[in-house]
Structure 1
Amino acid sequence: MTYKYILPIDTKNVSLEMIGGKGKSLARMASSRMSVPSGFYLTTSAYKDFVQKNNLQKDILNLAKPEIIGRTVSFESASKHIQELINGVELSDEIVNEIKQAYGALNGQNPAVAVRSSANAEDLPDLSFAGQQDTYLNVRGEEALITAIRDCWASLWTPRAISYRHQMGIKQEVVAMAVVVQIMVPSDVSGILFTANPVTGERSEIIVNSSFGLGEAVVGGQVTPDSYVVDRKTFTVKESIIGPKAQKIISSDKQGTILQDVSEHERSQSSLSDKSLKELTSIALNIEQTFEGVPQDIEWAISHGKLWMLQSRPITNLPPQPIEVSWEPTPPAKILARRQIVENIPDPVCPLFEELYLTKGLETPAKGQSRKSFFVGGGPMFVTV
């Protein structure tokens, strides 16, 4: 059947404007034969028609303005009133029917799905909207799905999202929200992976954080996960830290998720086997190449031994590659030891300063003593022993 508002998860040649940043990345991975959970996109056209037919745009833009509370810019009131507007009107029959038909075409009767926001101004190389719009996990049934979709639309107008767009100079009138609906992955282990070290900027290192259960616990910082530093050329583990992993998030029997304690035995165990870690890092590098070699921040999950890719976006604010500086002292220095002078002159000195002042001053002998042991050489200050 032909849809007006629905696109398949592996759709090709679709714009970010149509399915948002998250959707665009997923579509690219799915069309490249990556293991992406099946599902569909509700495009931004549905959101735009919903806003237009209910005459909401003018009121939204009038409300989406800052107010000063105690010398602080606040969007709390604006967000509250805009979300009330969105939640106060019904979706059209046309949109509802398409959602129900697309949902019914997924596996099983009332399958559990993940419902994720995908704005047309998120997951861009220079912008980070992570955590500003909502995700709903383990959603079951048509009515629950429609409610979750409406809540995703409303999350376009959270205080954080409005404020961030305001700070970054993004016009409020151009934003729109697509929604990603995917079969829920009941993950045994999940987490995040960076194809470059996001702290040091080291491109030769892959950083993996993992824990038991659903990945929201790792993404949301609710657990201290296992952490692995992997060499991207050899896939060998350079460093591993086993986190306490005291709790995990799992799907509830009905709707949503619950927090569950992890057994004492599991807490001390690595959540990833060497085989799974190697497979994960190998696929992550393939994903990076799919995105023209841009370092990626990837969310992943393992369920019953199968690895799934849930999301990929550029790493924002990645530091530059560290510069390795090699300095060898010239003769006659053999053994180098720092002395108190390095605290006073910690930086390398220029040859002119060394020749005209420093060396002569240091080598001026005291009475009855020879002081020819000092050596500078245009580098950090050392004393030859």
Structure 2
Amino acid sequence: MYTLNFTLDECKDVRQVGGKAASLAEMTAEGLPVAPGFSVTAEAYRRYREESGLKDFTTGILNGLSPEADQAAFDKAERTITERMKQVGMPEDIAGPIREAYRQLCADTGVEDIAVAVRSSATAEDSVDASFAGEFETWVDIVGEDAVVDYVQKCYVSVYSGRVLSYLAQKGIDPHEIEMAVVVQKTVRARAAGVMFTLSPTTGDRSRIVLEASWGLGLSVVGGEVTPDRYMLEKITLDIVVREAGHKHIEYRRGDAPQEVPDERQDVLCLSDEEVVALAHYGKNLEKVHGGAPQDIEFAIDEELPEGQNLILLQRRPETVWSNAERKPKFDAAAGMMSWITGSISGGAAELGGSGHSH
């Protein structure tokens, strides 16, 4: 099967849909607030790689690379593989089910040509042992069934980006071990968005819940383009013990480009106390459901939904820095939380360019 709706039990199988989609299906089943959508399965990716000898072609290119190669060599491999993938295109037996699933999403939401996010969900991604956070691509505000098919293929291509090939070489991972599933999900019209950890990401203190957020979509937070607001809560009582307003001079209202935030909003907290506590409550429950393991959760406040129904959980994965006692990251506690996290987890990937937004 090439597509699976989040509401299906099969969509919880991380081997078929990757960690990102499986977590969304789990949260959907638990009744948590998740934007509707579907997964394009790893089976579709396997079928795509067999098309016109793509797997053999990429194997030949990658066999010519050594782990000690410089970045220029990885970038050259990316250009060669990307050109071949573009020539091959998406097989119709994969494109057809994607178009049908998109049309069904439009029907289910009552929105014609609904805008969606197209997000990579690699089957090797989001594990405690090897984090691929920030290595693959996400695009938002994609409209129309043909465009969705095109961007699913862009997710496939992202497996062979020079940045990813270099990262995998450093980790000793064969790129062919990666199987790329893809999440297609209603774009959240975010008034504000951010990230939440069910521990302190700078000290590992499990008695705390920490959130960072900014205006608009979370792209500005994950990309380190703003100084986000920071909130810290006591986990047992959910009392807010820290509220720090950041300087949020830009926001992404849509996925294509940022815009300036009016002066009067730049240094104003973007979340209410009620929203912070409600989000922390979700985080605390998710940690409990997952055996007490600390969680890394992305969230948004959807401005199109009424108050009380507007908190949306975008992604959940195990926290990867403090969950393994053997890993002791170096950090500057005075630096911004997201800049340190993206640097620690994704090997500095946030500083590298790309045609989409890493996620």
TM-score, shorter chain, exceeding 0.5: yes
Work out whether 1:313 is the aligned partner of 2:317.
Answer: yes
Q: Which has the higher contact order (CA 8 A, sep 6+)?
A: 2
SS in structure 2 at match of 1:56: helix
Equivalent AA in structure 2 for residue 267 of structure 1: Q
SS in structure 2 at match of 1:250: coil
Work out whether 1:147 is the aligned partner of 2:150.
Answer: yes
Distance 2:95 2:115 in 1: 18
Please identify, of 265-274 and 161-170, the stretch whose mean Cα deviation from structure 2 is larger.
161-170
Tell me what 1:11 maps to.
Answer: 8
Distance 2:68 2:211 in 1: 41
Please identify, of 209-218 and 234-243, the stretch whose mean Cα deviation from structure 2 is larger.
234-243
Deviations 1:289-344 (A, max 9, x none): 222221111100011331000001111121789xxxxxxxxxxxxxxxxxxxxxxx
Please identify, of 105-114 and 75-84, the stretch whose mean Cα deviation from structure 2 is larger.
75-84
Distance 1:72 1:45, change over 3 A: closer
Please identify, of 11-20 and 226-235, the stretch whose mean Cα deviation from structure 2 is larger.
11-20
Distance 1:8 1:26 in 2: 10
Please identify, of 89-98 and 31-40, the stretch whose mean Cα deviation from structure 2 is larger.
89-98
Pairwise CA distance, 1:67: 5.3
Distance 1:109 1:272, change over 3 A: same
Pairwise CA distance, 1:15: 2.4
Pairwise CA distance, 1:165: 2.2
Work out whether 1:52 is the aligned partner of 2:50.
Answer: yes
SS in structure 2 at match of 1:258: coil
The 5 A counterparts of 1:155-174 are 155-174=158-177
Pairwise CA distance, 1:214: 0.4
Distance 1:297 1:153, change over 3 A: same
Tell me what 1:357 maps to.
Answer: none
Please identify, of 273-282 and 256-265, the stretch whose mean Cα deviation from structure 2 is larger.
256-265
SS in structure 2 at match of 1:157: coil
Distance 2:99 2:15 in 1: 23
CA contact (8 A) 2:51 2:88 kept: no
Pairwise CA distance, 1:10: 2.6
Tell me what 1:366 maps to.
Answer: none
Pairwise CA distance, 1:185: 0.6
SS in structure 2 at match of 1:103: helix
Query: What RMSD over aligned residues (CA atoms) do the two structures have, in Å?
Result: 1.9
Length-normalised TM-score, structure 2: 0.83
Deviations 1:16-59 (A, max 9, x none): 22101211221211111111110110101111111113211111
Please identify, of 21-30 and 68-77, the stretch whose mean Cα deviation from structure 2 is larger.
68-77
Please identify, of 83-92 and 239-248, the stretch whose mean Cα deviation from structure 2 is larger.
83-92
SS in structure 2 at match of 1:286: helix
Equivalent AA in structure 2 for residue 22 of structure 1: K
CA contact (8 A) 2:294 2:323 kept: no
Pairwise CA distance, 1:64: 2.1
Length-normalised TM-score, structure 1: 0.78
The 5 A counterparts of 1:225-264 are 225-251=228-254, 256-264=255-263
SS in structure 2 at match of 1:55: helix
Equivalent AA in structure 2 for residue 175 of structure 1: I
Equivalent AA in structure 2 for residue 12 of structure 1: D
Equivalent AA in structure 2 for residue 7 of structure 1: L
Tell me what 2:30 maps to.
Answer: 32
| The one of 203, 207, 213 aligned to 1:200 | 203
SS in structure 2 at match of 1:85: helix
CA contact (8 A) 2:192 2:271 kept: yes
CA contact (8 A) 1:30 1:36 kept: yes
CA contact (8 A) 1:194 1:298 kept: yes
Equivalent AA in structure 2 for residue 150 of structure 1: Q
CA contact (8 A) 1:44 1:178 kept: yes
CA contact (8 A) 1:67 1:73 kept: no
Equivalent AA in structure 1 for residue 5 of structure 2: P
CA contact (8 A) 2:42 2:179 kept: yes
Pairwise CA distance, 1:266: 1.0
Tell me what 2:188 maps to.
Answer: 185
Pairwise CA distance, 1:129: 0.9
> Which consecutive unaligned segments of at least 5 residues does structure 1 have?
322-385
Pairwise CA distance, 1:102: 0.7
Work out whether 1:79 is the aligned partner of 2:78.
Answer: yes
Equivalent AA in structure 2 for residue 128 of structure 1: S
Pairwise CA distance, 1:241: 1.2
CA contact (8 A) 1:196 1:203 kept: yes
Distance 1:128 1:279 in 2: 27
Deviations 1:103-160 (A, max 9, x none): 0111211100000001111101021211111101000012211111110110111222
Tell me what 1:110 maps to.
Answer: 113
Distance 1:226 1:294, change over 3 A: same
SS in structure 1 at match of 2:159: helix
Distance 1:174 1:242, change over 3 A: same
SS in structure 2 at match of 1:40: strand
CA contact (8 A) 2:7 2:29 kept: yes
